[in-house]
Amino acid sequence: KLSQPSPLERGPHQSEWGGWRSRTMADSTALKEEGNGHFKAGRYAAAVESYTKSLEQEPAQHLVLSNRSAAYLKLGGAAEQSLMDAERCVELAPSFAKGYSRQAAALQALKRWEDAIKICESGMQAAPDDALKKMLSEVRSRHFLDKLQGLWHGKVSDELGGYNQEMEFMEGNRVQVAVFGRSVVGTCSLDCDPDPHKLTIQVPMPDAPPGMPPPPPVPYIVKLDDAGLHLCCPAGPHELRPMKFAGPGYCHMVRGKLAMEDSAAEMASLTEDEKLLLCAKEFKEALPEQTLQDLMPNDSEEVGREKLMAQVKFESSMFAVKNKFGDNLMTRVLEAAKGDGPVPACLAKSSELRGLREKLVRVELIPPSSPQTSSAPTPAAPPKAHAPPSSATPAVPPRADAEKGGGSAAPAPQAPPAAGGSSWVIIAALAVSAVAVVAGVVVWQKRKR
């Protein structure tokens, strides 16, 4: 080991160099601290400038390179520069764990997910660190969410309603869930450490009354492969997050928008009278066999789930009828059954209209005292051009007992407007198997004609 010369042994040039060296180190430190101040204040461009001046005087400062890498990343659009600083930082200080974190952060910004995972794994070997371990988990989850981005559609099992659903995964851990032509935007979180991976979806209910707790999150397991997206949620009371992709809670989804069933060819071959008669028949078949019951706070989990399932199945059936016949035709048939609108001649004495009215009364969607359908046709206005199907089904009349103002009977299930007021439908369809949702979904959309 070489000894250092004493001050007396140093020549004038050595002393002069030593003084310059000390001043340079002091200046670079001051510039680093200046950069840190800018960074903390959110002035990232100024921070980069100060760090750069510090590095001009002392190029081998791994801490300054690490800080400038972070500042470049905060600036946006400078991920490549951030990565170069992080790589140089690791070269200078291979045992500095944060250098690997900086590299992984820059690689994520560049969406080089596999490289980011490798860097985290290399860092864990060179400099084991809890923060780096956490970042490795985050990188895996973000990589999966990036592959998940976009629109998916699939059909849930018949046990859970047999309806079609769409999910669109977006930036910022947001997910839009659409069922029955209505949608709501919620959030999702992912944990890729366990196998199978865990996906949790939380949707809001903006039309809930004050004090109503939010619906609970819906726990899924999830995987992606060449066949598409595989989801599985609990399928009954007291069930936890599943461990395998099987059972009623399983749903296979494929990329792209759901293609609506095209009944145009079938409808084009029918006359107007045939359409009205068929609409009345299928409208009746879509109605529930029993009166739909309101969810009550003291319902057991099993009873609440059964009520919720009945509502979801009703919504699904009505949505299918609406898509086939359109709002215009459905409204004409419903008004004829209620007796408060013109009755087309083909329906006046038909068994289809009589059966529809009888079922509407039986399930308490119209009161028995409603005006009877006349046996003679009411002059009807000329048929209107069919409007494009909207996302709202024609309103079903209120329950008979609801109009009397007594008891706890629920109003008739309605199809709320597309913009707002429909979140309970999506929540019910999304989380019909999550028992705890019963407590959160007790708001029914009330809309009387």
Give 260's pLDDT tier (boundaries 50, 70, 90): low
For 289-308, the pLDDT digits (tens) are 888 887 777 877 677 777 87
For range 318-343, the mean pLDDT: 89
The predicted pLDDT at position 294 comes to: 79
Tokens 């709501």 appear where?
Answer: 184
CB 394 within 8 A of CB 332: no
Q: Which residue has the higher pLDDT, 160 or 40?
A: 40
For range 124-140, the mean pLDDT: 92
Give 407's pLDDT tier (boundaries 50, 70, 90): very low
Give the contacts of 31 (CB within 8 A, at least 6 positions apart): 50, 51, 53, 54, 57
Sign of CA dihedral 242, 248, 251, 257: negative
The predicted pLDDT at position 229 comes to: 97
The phi and psi torsions of 105 (rounded to 5 degrees) equal -65, -45
User: What does 268-312 look like in DSSP terms, one character per residue?
Assistant: HTS-HHHHHHHHHHHHHHHS-SSPPPPP-TT--HHHHHHHHHHHH
For range 344-361, the mean pLDDT: 93
| Predicted model pTM | 0.66
Amino acid at the residue 294: D
The predicted pLDDT at position 402 comes to: 42
- Three-state SS for 128? coil
The predicted pLDDT at position 24 comes to: 59
